[in-house]
Amino acid sequence: MASVSVQAERPGGLLQRPHATTGFWSWFTTVDHKKIGILYGITAFGFFLIGGSEALLIRVQLARPDQTFLEPAVYNELFTMHGITMVFLVVMPLSAAFFNYLLPLMIGARDVVFPRLNAFSYWAFLFAGLFIYSSWFLGGAPNGGWFGYAPNSVTDPSIGMTFYAIGLLIAGIASTVSAVNLAVTVLNMRAPGMTLFRMPVFVWMGLVVQLLLAFSLPVITIGLVELLFDRLFGTHFFDVAAGGSPVLWQHLFWLFGHPEVYILVLPAMGIVSEILPVFARKPLFGYQFVVFSGIAIGFIGFGVWAHHMFAVGLGPVANTAFAVSTMIIAIPTGVKIFNWLGTLWNGDLRFATPMLFSIGFIAMFVIGGLSGVTHAVVPSDYQQTDTYYIVAHFHYVLFGGAIFGLFAGIYFWWPKVFGRMLSETWGRVNFWLMLIGFNMTFGPMHILGLQGMPRRIQSYPASLGLSFWNMVSSIGAFVIAISVLVFLINAVTSFRKPKQMEADPWDARTLEWSTSSPPPEYNFEEIPVVHSLDDLWHRKYAETEGGRVVPVAAGGSGEMASVGDHVGGDGGAGHEGGHAIHMPSPSYFPLIAAAGFPIAGYGLIFGVPAVVVGLVITLAGFFGWALEPSAE
Amino acid sequence: MASLEHSVAPPVSDHAATSTGLPSLKLAMWLFLASDCLLFGALISTYVLYRGASTTGPYPSDVFDIPFTSVSSFVLLASSLTMVLALAAIQRGDVGRSRVWLLATALLGMAFLGGQVYEFTSFVREGLTLKTNVFGTSFYVLTGFHGTHVAVGVLMLLTLFTLSFAGKITQDSAMTVELVGLYWHFVDIVWIVIFTVVYLIPTNPGPGS
Amino acid sequence: MVNVGTPSGEPCVREPVERCYCAPGLGARLRFTRRDTGKVRRRTVVVLGLVALAVVAVACAPNASQSALEPAGPYAQKSFDLFVPVFWVAVGIFVIVEGLLLLFVIRYRHRKNQTARIPAQIHGNTRLEIAWTILPTLILAGVAVPTIATIWDLAAKPTGDVLEVNVLAHQWWWEFDYPGQDILTANELHIPTGRPVYLTLCAVGFGYGTPVPSDGGPPAPNACQTGPPDGQQPAAIGAAVIHSFWVPQLAGTQDVVPDLTNHLTIQADEPGVYQGQCKEFCGLSHAYMKFRVVAHTPADFDRWVAEQQAPASAQVSGPAAAGKDIFLQTCTACHAVAGLETANGQPAIANGAPNLTHLMSRQCFRGCTLETNDENLARWIADPRSFEAGSFMPDYGLTSDQIDQVVAFLNTLE
């Protein structure tokens, strides 16, 4: 990778900025959105393996009735940690990995608008995850469910839920800050000519997701603060005897929690919206409608939260209102699905692995969406809620939906990020095993729920007749595990290939494919000027009056690296119009500022001095950040 | 006006203009403040939900000293005025004046905080702590969050004040002052809401009295 | 041929693409070659076979007694009657959407022997967009109307000859209080068939860290406040957390929330035993907080009421007498038996644990996870934590002889 020129150095060197952009230590000081994206991706995948292992343990315990492989205390920790991990430490950061890496490239920018803030978000996320997981060794992991309903989450004697509250607060800071950063990037850093309606759908979904984060995280922040204060300081937020209300926790949690599920799935929808057109060789059908549907889902998503609370006793008026709003939100979701079908219609479909996962996404998400609509029928939900029928629904939308979409993105952008292709053969095995295993695991859960299996139970008796489908489900989980192993093999062996990838191996449509694979640190030799949606495609192909699509002569634009060039991994230092491109320097301070938070967190649990130490470190980090010399 | 991001933060685009025309730092601050609105919204909602729900005293009418709190509210409002004056001065290039008004804002903010501390300690003496009842719980956490926001603002103001002696605050960097000003006005507006909802609108005593 | 998905190292060659122009809109003709038809037919058979298998598997599932798909009373029937048509609508949409997906995937796949084409770059069709926005709206409106009607129907308090029962949820067992009949029992809710039973749901247990009000007022508003008639505060064992009362064959669920007074109406058509359990995660032994609803004919129910209203039989002899002494010294700290006096002459009143007056009339105990027999009772008393994680019942360290005596005494509590 090109090394950037040395920065101004202050005598005394305390606030000297590091300069290396290559090498092991450069990963700790990087402010390059691409490296940060890779960090998010690797970390999220690591947590995926851990969260998946937790799921396997759960499925072993539930494979047969009346098993005592896991006692209730451990089982409760496992399902809680599985939920926290998958939601906050896997799907969210994996989406963040894609947003970080791709948003600047897709809008023709060189980086996000606040690169050090970007690094800070990553380190805060990493420390939050490590903090929560350290609880296993420091007194007990969170055990009150990922949803942490009060009063149980307050009264449970284990320290675990305190780790939960503090850890998620730190993660929330990371995500809020990142949301502001990426939203401003999309709004302000677009290449000339890229109006909002020439942005790729993935960028639009990114914008909607960041705004959802910015407006939903504060609500759960307050919920978590109130939970933490009740646990640590004897306050009465959820104390019924003092006049408090446990239902308040639920409102605060779900006011965040429902937008959160759209935060989890919209990125994958954006990814699929990019991949389908490439492998159908035609544009996304109904671009504006897909965009507007995403925006509508974002808005309406703030109005459906109490559909998680139908059985709480809010009364028929509230239940009616939320049943209706929940049904309404199905409409824009359906619009998206129909537009994806329209994209496939009359296409020239090629089933590379990204396309397989994208089609799998559509197929699985439809099932999850339909079961979701059945929940909106409140009197039926009285039977379905808190059973495995719900577990089936959300795994269909979050695994069959979000995870499949993210895997599609991994296969699609792997050559761009790492300069090598993942193997198609292994990819096919990965996909089919995952699809089969997934349906084996979660399909039967619809039946189990309706036949009387509640959620979050460590065991069930043989007399309920739930044994057969539980066994099928548990076997399916191991098939998923094998499919993930296949992916790991694919990923690792891909690095044995030489790093020799063209800019645009898929003949794609968006700007990131116009630069080398991987891109240079400065992303583009010259910032492109955008003339239309799918600008890259229109530079490659023109439509004649008769509607024929013909390729444009290679090198026609002259402004970008030509499609089809072999650009090696190491480019020279970028030159634009004769002068060097200046990229922001790396910095220590984002990591330092982030490091104070978990230390303060430990202090809240184990002793006030650590709180002071943590806050001082964070403050010092922020001051250093503000005062260090800028990059030249 | 050259934006601050060129002298302090490195340029990441070769185009000085932004797609929306708004400086990025300002857009970011507005977005952050919008997000912060929801933070206070959740806290105020909690307080309002628990209005009149305490099963034991002391109750708001037992402890509130509205005249005193009105004075400290006025102090905070005045600090918004001095903040505006500080920004106007630096936009004119008058660093000295700006420095004075920045210090005045910080001092008024500290006076407000001092008033809060005095108020809280007198409440504690009258028997209202975080743990006493749900009124104490929701009141202290709400006003404590606000006070923390004020304290962070004071810190930023004093930092600007100090930096101005090192020549870091100039007419070109008026944006920084403007951003701190936005934050400061937001904190002020939130206080107006809190003062109205918590102090001015009377609460019936709880079921326990 | 445009290179898509090949391992790196192969050259990337571009050839002119062939013209392929199809009329915009739905004018594309669906052409099937003979080979295509065969493939489609084979895939269809496979898919249908799988669906049939699934249906058979469901239909032949072993008789699950906690199933929402086997309603045994009018209130459960209402949920079921709403679920079934909506389910079939969902199946219909599933078939259409997934069918289209499958159709397109098969019909429009790139075939190797065809030269590459770039299809017409169709950007959308506004009429279609309107259509597939309006049609789902209409379907959902059709679903919404009966949904809303049933919400209000189920929320209404039943009229007529209604039996009222208070359900008290503890960590981790269910208590049933019949205020009209003055009965306090646990683990089994006995009801008559053919009558609506209006349940008031209360979560019982400690709040946390609250000082008792200085004026001695009640600690928490609770519509199910039960206790001795002299107004003593019932003790609480375990924390008051959210539970959920679910007996799927008789009704959907309602949560039991500490600061809310929720209600649920159940009714059984036929005599029988219906399984239920707590559905809302409530702590360590959430999985073991079960109950049964036992429905009797009205005559049998009246007989049950009379039996429950009688005090404990006073006739004990032999080991049961020794057991009774032990019981009065230890167990009555928490357990109540109507008509008994503790060692210091106080009536053995409800004190946070199940009322044992007619323990032997109940088929199950320990959150209805153990059958009521001597062996289970002995093992439970010997080591409560092995049956209930986090149990609040202490292990009094009784010898096995002492336990046998206590069990003998318990056998007299019919």
Select from A184, A197, A210, A254 the residue whose CB has the most chain B CBs within 10 Å, as the one to mutate to test that interface. Answer: A184
Domains and CATH numbers, chain A: 31-505 (1.20.210.10)
Cis-peptide, bond into residue B58, ω within 30° of zero: yes
In a domain, B7, yes or no: no
The amino acid at residue C411 is N
Over residues A63-115, the pLDDT tens digits come to 999 999 999 999 999 999 999 999 999 999 999 999 999 999 999 999 999 99
Query: Does residue A553 belong to the interface with chain C, where contact is any CB pair within 8 Å?
Result: no
In a domain, B1, yes or no: no
Helix residue spans in C108-231 (DSSP H): 126-155
| CA A569/CA C8 separation, integer angstroms | 14
Select from C208, C210, C260 the residue whose CB has the most chain B CBs within 10 Å, as the one to mutate to test that interface. Answer: C210
pTM of the entire predicted model: 0.90
Asked if residues A226 and A237 have their Cβ atoms less than 8 Å apart, the reply is: yes
pLDDT of residue C342: 60
What percent of chain A has pLDDT above 90? 87
| CA A614/CA A618 separation, integer angstroms | 6
| CA A30/CA A25 separation, integer angstroms | 9
Residues spanned by the domain of B103: 67-203
pLDDT of residue B94: 93
Report B:121-140 residues touching C (Cβ under 8 A).
Answer: 131
In a domain, B91, yes or no: yes
**Least CB-CB distance to A109: which of B7, B13, B133?**
B13
pLDDT over 80 at A233, yes or no: yes
In a domain, B24, yes or no: no
Query: Does residue B114 belong to the interface with chain A, where contact is any CB pair within 8 Å?
Result: no
**Least CB-CB distance to C259: which of A240, A288, A347?**
A240
Q: What is the CATH number of the domain that holds B92?
A: 1.20.120.80
CB contact under 8 A, A330 and C82: no
Asked if residues A528 and A535 have their Cβ atoms less than 8 Å apart, the reply is: yes
Report A:361-380 residues touching C (Cβ under 8 A).
Answer: 362-363, 366-367, 370-371, 373-374, 376-380
Name every residue whose Cβ is closer than 8 Å to that of residue C51 and which is 6 or more positions away in sequence: none
Counting one residue from A and one from C, how many pairs have CB atoms under 8 Å apart?
358
pLDDT of residue B89: 95
What is the distance, to the nearest Å, from the Cα of residue C326 to the centroid of all Cα atoms in its chain? 38
pLDDT over 80 at A393, yes or no: yes
- C-alpha to C-alpha distances, A154 to A135, A243, B82, C283, nearest whole angstrom: 17, 15, 45, 11
| CA A549/CA C121 separation, integer angstroms | 8
**pLDDT band of A20, cuts 50, 70, 90:** confident
**Least CB-CB distance to A582: which of B10, B133, B206?**
B10
Residues of chain B with Cβ-Cβ distance to C216 below 8 Å are: none
Residues of chain A with Cβ-Cβ distance to B9 below 8 Å are: 114, 584, 630
CA angle C85, C88, C89 (to 5 degrees): 85
Q: How far is A303 from chain B (nearest CA, A)?
A: 15
More confident residue, A12 or A421: A421
Report B:43-82 residues touching A (Cβ under 8 A).
Answer: 43, 46, 49-50, 53-56
pLDDT of residue C226: 45
Over residues B43-62, the pLDDT tens digits come to 999 999 999 888 888 999 99
Handedness of CA A303, A305, C168, C203 (dihedral sign): negative
In a domain, B141, yes or no: yes
Chains adjacent to A (≥3 CB pairs closer than 8 angstroms): B, C
| CA C303/CA C300 separation, integer angstroms | 5
pLDDT over 70 at A9, yes or no: no
CB contact under 8 A, B208 and C211: no
More confident residue, C314 or A328: A328
Over residues A247-264, the pLDDT tens digits come to 999 999 999 999 999 999
Residues of chain B with Cβ-Cβ distance to A190 below 8 Å are: 19
| CA A72/CA A580 separation, integer angstroms | 62
pLDDT of residue C219: 43
Residues of chain B with Cβ-Cβ distance to C221 below 8 Å are: 207
Angle in degrees, 0-180, between the axes of helices A115-134 and A160-188, rounded to the nearest 10: 160
Residues of chain C with Cβ-Cβ distance to B56 below 8 Å are: 211, 213-214
- C-alpha to C-alpha distances, C320 to C96, C344, C347, nearest whole angstrom: 70, 20, 20
**pLDDT band of A241, cuts 50, 70, 90:** confident
Report B:156-175 residues touching C (Cβ under 8 A).
Answer: none
| CA B90/CA B172 separation, integer angstroms | 9
What residue of A is the nearest CA neighbor of C99?
A363
Over residues A122-180, the pLDDT tens digits come to 999 999 999 999 999 999 999 999 999 999 999 998 999 999 999 999 999 999 999 99
pLDDT of residue A568: 34
Query: Does residue C392 belong to the interface with chain A, where contact is any CB pair within 8 Å?
Result: no
The amino acid at residue A40 is Y
Q: What order of strands is seen across the sheet that includes strand C173-178?
A: C183-186, C173-178, C163-170, C197-203, C262-266
pLDDT over 80 at B203, yes or no: no
| CA A226/CA A161 separation, integer angstroms | 12
More confident residue, B151 or C117: B151
Counting one residue from A and one from B, how many pairs have CB atoms under 8 Å apart?
143
Predicted ipTM?
0.91
In a domain, B154, yes or no: yes
pLDDT of residue A21: 82
In a domain, B18, yes or no: no
What residue of B is the nearest CA neighbor of A628?
B8
What percent of chain B has pLDDT above 90? 81
How buried is residue B125: exposed, middle or buried, by Cβ count under 10 Å (0-12/13-18/19+)? exposed
**What stretches in chain C show pLDDT beneath 70?**
1-64, 207-236, 314, 341-351
Per-residue DSSP letter, B126: T
Number of other CB atoms surrounding residue A366 within 10 Å: 24
Q: How far is B123 from chain C (nearest CA, A)?
A: 19
pLDDT of residue C343: 56
In a domain, B192, yes or no: yes
Specify which residues A384 forms β-bridges with: none
CB contact under 8 A, C119 and A348: yes
- Mean pLDDT over each residue of chain A, to the nearest integer: 92
Residues of chain B with Cβ-Cβ distance to C260 below 8 Å are: none
pLDDT of residue C355: 87
Asked if residues A310 and A316 have their Cβ atoms less than 8 Å apart, the reply is: no
| Total domains present in chain B | 1
What residue of B is the nearest CA neighbor of A190?
B19
Give the three-state DSSP class for A168: helix
Asked if residues A229 and A218 have their Cβ atoms less than 8 Å apart, the reply is: no
Asked if residues A334 and C132 have their Cβ atoms less than 8 Å apart, the reply is: yes
How long is chain A?
632
